[in-house]
Structure 1
Amino acid sequence: MVFLCADFIYDQHFKDLRSRGSLVIGPALVTLCASKSEPLFFPRANCPLYTDSMAGITVALSGISRARCRETASLVRFMGGSVHRRFSPRVTHLITDSVLCSQYHKAVAAQRYVVHLRWVHAAWALRDDINISITAPHFVRGFLVEPFCGLSIWFVGYSAEELIGLRLRTVEHMGKLAAHVRDATHVVVSNNADISLGDFSRRQKIVHDEWFWACIRLSSCADEDNYKWVERERAKKDHDPRPAGSFLRLHSVDQQAVASSFPGRWDCDSIAGDYQISMTVSCKMSKADDIGKEMVETEEHYLRALKIVVKCFMEPLEERFKQRGSNLLSKAEMRCIFSRVPLLIDAHQVICNDLRMATDNPTAVRHISEVWLRNAENLLPLYSAYIGNCDRALEILRESDANPEFHAFLKSAENRAECQRHMLKDLLVRPVQRLPSVILLLKEMQHKVQRSDRSRRYVTRAINALQDILRTANEARGQVETYAEAFKVYTQIEDYPVSSPFIMFK
């Protein structure tokens, strides 16, 4: 005999039937079978079944009191799900209210849902609605355990301005701000900080800041073992790519200036002024050949910076786009920001190799100049396109940074060891700076060469060739600005399509 019962929680008759091992079903199960024109199926003895909304679901519970575990397990079984004591490969959902639970990282590694206890209660509240799938991803996502849930976080080595953003994001992702370092479960240390692990408790997780941004990017608490702070002698990081005795030192670009449109024209003099490119002659360095070696070193640093853009930013974004479609940047935006960087790498890899060989030549000055003369034709379209597009690329980057998920990706990438603490917006300006810096080195080389030396004419020709590239790039950028302004005006004219054949840009 099968009993139909509408109340599985408080009804005493239901409790009596269950204690006797009777077959009990709920009205939702009857409604569901009728809607599908399927025969009514019966539960096993002592396993009352109100609905089958959790059919095929296996849950494990962790970090929850025994009383609440028993209550939750009963509700899951009433809805057709099964319960395991521990996490296993058969588990589809881990139920917990803290990322500190012992089974959390196993579930995340197995790519299982980790949900709050209230998911089960929400499902039970909808038990009579057969049209709602409580296991659908869009429903479950509303109950996922936040990356910092249950954590108390303390930050070390950050400025007051940085702390404001970090604390806001901690609270936004359900973390708590420790009132004192001794109260923290996790201590997040800036990569620039110099601390001793002896200052903290052994029970605390001491992690570097990439962990924080990885948690936000992944929407789950990243495994702390992969981001442990390792106490070591921390060499002072010099963001200037040139060695101490450099002829040419590119000072760091002011962040606000980088984020805004470039005001000047891309000729050598304005670049030198806008980006504070200054020359300092090292102690008693008088030979032009030494400047050639300096040029090779700066070329290697420049190549390294371009490869960081590809490895740490472009490739991870492309991979995310292939896997599930990027919600960080559109394909057009990625093309605008990154498309020309691999081409610049290819061109400058050839130049770098040629410069190395040229410096070993007895007539190094002439051969170095010829390297730039040979490659000027290839560099012209590359730099014209890149510089003309640079304003737009930085604007996209600035707008996208308002997206919390993209901001988290950016911070996580910039804090990777391979990135060497470079910021993407600074790296994207490096091609704008490169040719002016080469011109300044060539001018210094020209100054060191005697007027009677035949190689001097090759240096002059190389300088002129690179200045022509900058002049053309400047004109291209001016055209882009003109098109952008014209497009803006036309879009404001009512009932006048931008694709009109009467619109001509000259």
Structure 2
Amino acid sequence: MLPKVETRVVLVGEAARNGALVKALQDINTPYIVTDNVQELGDGENTDFETVFVLTDFDSSDYNYLYKRENRIIGPPVVLHCAAKREALHFSCRPLYSTTMLNLSLCFTGFRNKEEMKNLVNLVHHMGGTIRKDFSTKVTHLVACSTHGEKYRLAVCMGTPILTPSWIHKAWERRDDVYFHAGEEEFRTQFKVPPFQDCSLSFLGFSEDEKTNMEERTLKHGGSYLEVGDENCTHVVVEENSVKELPFSPSKKLFVVKQEWFWGSIQMDARAGESMYLYEKNDSPAMKKAVSLLSLTTPNSNRKRRRLRDTLAQLTKETEISPFPPPRKRPSAEHSLSMGSLLDISNTPETCKSSKPSKSSTPVLSKQSARWQVSKELYQTESNYVDILNTILQIFKLPLEKEGQVGGPILAQEEMKTIFGSIPDIYEVHTRIKSDLEELLTAWHEDRSVGDIILKYSKELVKAYPPFVNFFEMSKETIVRCEKQKPRFHAFLKINQAKPECGRQTLVELLIRPVQRLPSVALLLNDIKKHTSDDNPDKMRLEKAIESLKEVMTHINEDKRKTEGQKQIFDVVYEVDGCPANLLSSHRSLVYRVETIALGDQPCDRGEHVTLFLFNDCLEIARKRHKVINTFKSPLGQTRPPPPLKHIALMPLSQIRRVLDLQDTEECVNAFALVVHPPTEHENLLFSFQLAGEETIKSTWLRTLCRHIANTICRADAEDMIQCTDPDSLQVSTKDMDSTLSKASRAIKKTSKKVKAEESLFHVTCC
């Protein structure tokens, strides 16, 4: 056995005059000597002692003398640290001034100056840290001068902190603080390498507001921005939905990436890998028109009508959602799919595939009833609603709750609870409702009870909804506040709201669906009840189900409702003669009013002035009353002037299958059309209109309409409901709408019968 060598501490110069240092050596029972001449003891010839020199300056002649002779050198902070921990003096083969980086393993990347690198390595060693040449799982921190390179990419993937060289320099400045450690999160986060360091970004295809926002965030996260085409640019961020082709040929060194790369980098607080987000030129052929042009010269009107019907069916094909597979068709029939064919669905259970009922069997005919149609609509909206709830949970809530997020948690637990509330409970109960509705429609019979399904879950609805709806405003405010204050959350929302599942809707717009859902279900149940015969057992069950939903809604704080739009409903009721009483509803509000001229024979005659009142869940259609009628006094002696409008129809938005933006041509200007399918009809109807006046912008009106249709049927892709269409294919024209003579002749024609009726009534009253 080797003889035990005694440790001898030598306090050099200023260290000997440090009272705290002398006391620390006494506390750990370590003998020491004092010297001002290191040459007397630093020649390394004495082997009876393990000599440890304590120096206050690692940049002095004494340090250089001892270091060249491989003496063991430590700084005063090491002695003080060991005394505080009641430990023996740390052994280190290298000079150790402090324990500031003890147990830290560093790796470097992006350095080109060897002297700078050498200096940083020495500082790390002096503070007790270790250096690794290659990046591995043992590396605790990456010190980077660039966001390029394999080491940087590995550190991002593994969640290793990536810091600037300033971190080492600032830690060295605090080397004498015994209780300080460079690995403290609060300290090191000040020196994170920003995601866009040494990057120059350009933005293509964004609006001015979006571009300004992204440029500001680029500067905030360490980058710079240039105009598109600048040769010093490193990245071009492209809005892939609006840019179909690049206006230049990119060089090999230039990254052309989608906007998700930009927001993903901010969310991770590190530069994302470009390979996953490269923008690819869209060389695919343009989307074919859904509507083929119809010949207007054919003398066969029945053929025109048939083609028009097929055209409308084709337009609504994508919007049809059913729990059942569509029936097989001959290839020749693929292009003439109509709504009627979608209703010819076999009710044979999957367990009885050998059974093949004929298309004319009773169950199939019963499915074409209005009661089945509305029940199917209830299922469709429920299925869409469940999908949206699932999107909220899978796209937003679960990723935010995920542990080990790069850069740490995006939101605090309190904020998560405030934003999402009882969404999981609502999702769970509606998933079961959807399953029960699907089973009911699969084995449909007119006596099957829809009301029982709602009654079955009424207690769970009462429990799940009020907590969320009552605090929805707080949830919305929390989202807005966090988006402003937390860049990573803002980037997270930007990334996910651009996904197809969200239909470009914000998280707030998706979260408002539970607020709207129960009133929509009540409307549909009421519609089913209207089409249920009095001798059907489900009639009473539906009434109880509607009452149960009303009970749920009474638990919701009335102060949360929007009152301004509701007040405007009374104005509509007074303005429209014959307006249905059920238009007045606590959940309904007026959204938009549009003046139009009818272009077809539905819902009223061509040339009629029609006013459309858009509510959040329905569309009131009213025509202008003829002035000649107003010249007669009412036999009831009313002094109040008669309403200027006449009620035509109150149509639920769920009946609108497609919104058509008719292209402007010489024959048709500023027009649009609605493809409508009432539950009592087997074919689609076309309502076409021309906007009257210049105060209404067609694009704004159509987007607003589609957004509320999507809200009603619980779809996220509101913009996909608009289809730009050639008016000739639908036989729509505005050619004679501006003719004064034409207007007069139409007015005379439309009012002649009503004038005669009023005259007869007038004569009878006088007699």
User: What is the TM-score normalised by the length of structure 1?
Assistant: 0.71
The separation in 2 between residues aligned to 1:4 and 1:37, in whole angstroms, is 18
**CA 1:162–1:298: 2 relative to 1, 3 Å:** same
Equivalent residue number for residue 427 of structure 1: 510
Q: Identity of counterpart residues, as a percentage?
A: 30
Equivalent residue number for residue 349 of structure 1: 431
**CA 1:121–1:460: 2 relative to 1, 3 Å:** same
Secondary structure of 2:471's partner? helix
Equivalent residue number for residue 406 of structure 1: 489
**1:295 alignment partner, one of 375, 378, 382:** 378
What is the CA-CA distance between 1:391 and the residue it aligns to? 2.8
Equivalent residue number for residue 491 of structure 1: none
The separation in 1 between residues aligned to 2:150 and 2:474, in whole angstroms, is 47
The separation in 1 between residues aligned to 2:73 and 2:259, in whole angstroms, is 54
Unaligned runs of 5+ in 2: 1-40, 43-52, 288-313, 321-338, 344-367, 562-767
What is the CA-CA distance between 1:461 and the residue it aligns to? 6.7
Equivalent residue number for residue 202 of structure 1: 252
The separation in 2 between residues aligned to 1:49 and 1:192, in whole angstroms, is 58
User: Greater relative contact order: 1 or 2 (C-alpha under 8 angstroms, separation 6 or more)?
Assistant: 1
Equivalent residue number for residue 189 of structure 1: 238
1:177 and 2:225 aligned: yes
Is the contact between residue 359 and residue 368 of structure 1 (CA under 8 Å) also seen in structure 2? no
Is the contact between residue 385 and residue 473 of structure 1 (CA under 8 Å) also seen in structure 2? no
**2:132 alignment partner, one of 72, 84, 87:** 84
1:218 and 2:301 aligned: no
Is the contact between residue 458 and residue 548 of structure 2 (CA under 8 Å) also seen in structure 1? no
1:245 and 2:316 aligned: yes
Secondary structure of 2:484's partner? coil
1:50 and 2:97 aligned: yes
What is the CA-CA distance between 1:115 and the residue it aligns to? 1.1
The separation in 2 between residues aligned to 1:436 and 1:468, in whole angstroms, is 12
1:159 and 2:199 aligned: no
Is the contact between residue 145 and residue 164 of structure 2 (CA under 8 Å) also seen in structure 1? yes
The separation in 1 between residues aligned to 2:500 and 2:262, in whole angstroms, is 15
The separation in 2 between residues aligned to 1:160 and 1:326, in whole angstroms, is 31
Runs of 4+ in 1 over 6 A off after TM superposition: 282-286, 321-325
Alignment of 1:271-350 (within 5 A): 288=370, 289-320=372-403, 328-331=411-414, 333-350=415-432
The separation in 2 between residues aligned to 1:176 and 1:219, in whole angstroms, is 16
The separation in 1 between residues aligned to 2:85 and 2:379, in whole angstroms, is 75
What is the CA-CA distance between 1:372 and the residue it aligns to? 4.5
Is the contact between residue 358 and residue 364 of structure 1 (CA under 8 Å) also seen in structure 2? no
Is the contact between residue 365 and residue 459 of structure 1 (CA under 8 Å) also seen in structure 2? no
The separation in 1 between residues aligned to 2:373 and 2:551, in whole angstroms, is 28
User: What is the TM-score normalised by the length of structure 2?
Assistant: 0.49
Counterpart of 1:50 in structure 2: which amino acid?
Y
1:469 and 2:516 aligned: no
Is the contact between residue 522 and residue 546 of structure 2 (CA under 8 Å) also seen in structure 1? yes
* Pairwise CA RMSD: 4.2
What is the CA-CA distance between 1:50 and the residue it aligns to? 3.0
What is the CA-CA distance between 1:64 and the residue it aligns to? 1.1
Query: Larger C-alpha radius of gyration, 1 or 2?
Result: 2
Is the contact between residue 228 and residue 236 of structure 2 (CA under 8 Å) also seen in structure 1? no
Secondary structure of 1:462's partner? helix
Listed one character per residue, the Cα deviations across residues 100-147 of structure 1 (whole Å, up to 9, x for unaligned) are 244111123333221111111112222333332223232222222122
The separation in 2 between residues aligned to 1:244 and 1:391, in whole angstroms, is 38
Equivalent residue number for residue 711 of structure 2: none
Is the contact between residue 105 and residue 129 of structure 2 (CA under 8 Å) also seen in structure 1? yes
**CA 1:475–1:77: 2 relative to 1, 3 Å:** closer
Secondary structure of 1:402's partner? helix
What is the CA-CA distance between 1:161 and the residue it aligns to? 1.9
Unaligned runs of 5+ in 1: 237-242, 250-281, 482-506
**CA 1:131–1:150: 2 relative to 1, 3 Å:** same
Moved more, 298-307 or 35-44: 35-44
The separation in 1 between residues aligned to 2:199 and 2:190, in whole angstroms, is 20
Secondary structure of 2:106's partner? strand
Secondary structure of 2:237's partner? strand
What is the CA-CA distance between 1:392 and the residue it aligns to? 3.1
What is the CA-CA distance between 1:307 and the residue it aligns to? 0.7
Alignment of 1:357-372 (within 5 A): 357-360=439-442, 363-364=445-446, 367-368=449-450, 371-372=453-454
Counterpart of 1:152 in structure 2: which amino acid?
S
Which of the pair is proportionally richer in helix?
1
What is the CA-CA distance between 1:355 and the residue it aligns to? 2.8
The separation in 1 between residues aligned to 2:456 and 2:92, in whole angstroms, is 82
Number of corresponding residues: 436
The separation in 1 between residues aligned to 2:533 and 2:58, in whole angstroms, is 103
